Amino acid sequence: GDGIVWNGSDCAFTCASGFFFSDGSCRRCSALSCAAGSTLLACGLTSDAVCVDCELIPTGRFVWSHGCDFNCAGGAYRDGNNCLDCTVPWCAPGLFASPCSS
């Protein structure tokens, strides 16, 4: 269809779900797959869908995993929205430091 939903007999219409109004007609919303580090902003009444950068950017050494989710890179661990570098503690003779993990 053309995405138009007629509102009675007065020639008024709205765009159906999955459509937005632009340039005098209803247009199908884009089906986007956003890259890691961005998220989908769904289409609105008069705007198409768009990928936008994540608002919260973690600090430290990280890699985006999916959308706005992230993992800390090797040698760092997650503390809230931050990736902190691991430190090697001093160990008494005969003891070993456990590896740092995210």
Tell me the pLDDT tens digit for each residue of 35-52. Answer: 999 999 999 999 999 999
Query: Cα separation of 21 and 36, whole Å?
Result: 29
Query: What's the number of CA atoms in the CB half-sphere (13 Å) around residue 21?
Result: 9
pTM score of the predicted model: 0.63
pLDDT at 5 over 80: no
The letter for the amino acid at 29 is C
Query: Cα separation of 42 and 52, whole Å?
Result: 10
Residue with the bigger pLDDT between 100 and 38: it is 38
pLDDT at 24 over 90: no
Residue 68 CB neighbour total at 10 angstroms = 18
Q: What is the pLDDT of residue 102?
A: 44
Q: What is the pLDDT of residue 9?
A: 65
Please give the full DSSP string across 3-70, using - where no structure is assigned.
Answer: -EEE-TTSS-EEEPTTEEEETTEEEEPP---PPTTEEEE---SS---EEEE-S---BSSEEEEETTEE
pLDDT at 96 over 60: yes
Query: Cα separation of 100 and 7, whole Å?
Result: 62
